[in-house]
Amino acid sequence: MSGSGWLLSGGIGSGKSAVRRVLQGSGLSTIDADSVGHEVLQRGGAAVGAVAESWPDVIVGGEVDRKRLGAIVFDDPAALAQLEAMTHPHIFALIEERLSSLAPPVVVEIPLLVQPFSGTWRRIVVDTTDDLRLGRAMARGLEEGQVRRRMASQPSRQQWLAAADLVIPNSGSIEDLEEAAAGIVEVVRGSSGD
């Protein structure tokens, strides 16, 4: 994908979605790659057929039961890689389609270290400790084992930080995080002419 913008990243429970909502509320164009991922697994979604061939037991009512699928792929790195090979091309194609209709700069929330974009894309990383991430994800209703498996399947904190052009620390309250996110709006907006 060509163009320029910002990738908004961090592991599960880091707070990246809260940051995206603040940026969007400030008038910036945003895309949530996870939501796009849900679309390709819903009834009629582009990846449903391939997933059904590999894991027929996860298809319920014509769409993918993401909880069942997650229980399989987050315990098996090979299965996760297989799923990503099935879904990522469709996800990236939909994101590219949406990018063409949005005013720059666009912020794409993407829970991956992979860089599928060409052009000038920078990365914002929302950073916090693994313990805080675990607690936050469990507070959203996930079991500890589920969260730990997902964390293990994602880049480490050090890998996220090494890939960052801009870091937003998130060790305080949601209000602290929202204030920090509001503080970068002009930095992001000012990048559109780069």
Give the per-residue pLDDT at 1: 47
More confident residue, 1 or 22: 22
State the sign of the Cα–Cα–Cα–Cα dihedral 39, 7, 186, 190: negative
Encode pLDDT of 109-119 as tens digits.
998 887 677 66
Give residue-wise pLDDT tens across range 133-148. Answer: 999 989 988 889 888 9
Give percent above pLDDT 70 in the chain.
Answer: 95
For 62-105, the pLDDT digits (tens) are: 889 998 998 899 888 899 999 999 999 999 999 999 998 998 88
Q: Count Cα atoms within 13 angstroms, Cβ side, for 31.
A: 26
- Whether residue 3 has pLDDT greater than 90: no
More confident: 6 or 113 = 6
- Please, which pLDDT band fits residue 192 given cuts at 50, 70 and 90? low
Superfamily of domain covering 4-193? P-loop containing nucleotide triphosphate hydrolases (3.40.50.300)
Closest CA to 27 of 194, 193, 182, 191: 182
At residue 184, does pLDDT exceed 60?
A: yes
Place of tokens 């805080």: 132
Neighbour count for residue 61 (Cβ, 10 Å) = 7
Instruction: Tell me what pLDDT residue 123 has.
Output: 94
Confidence of residue 178 (pLDDT cuts 50, 70, 90): very high
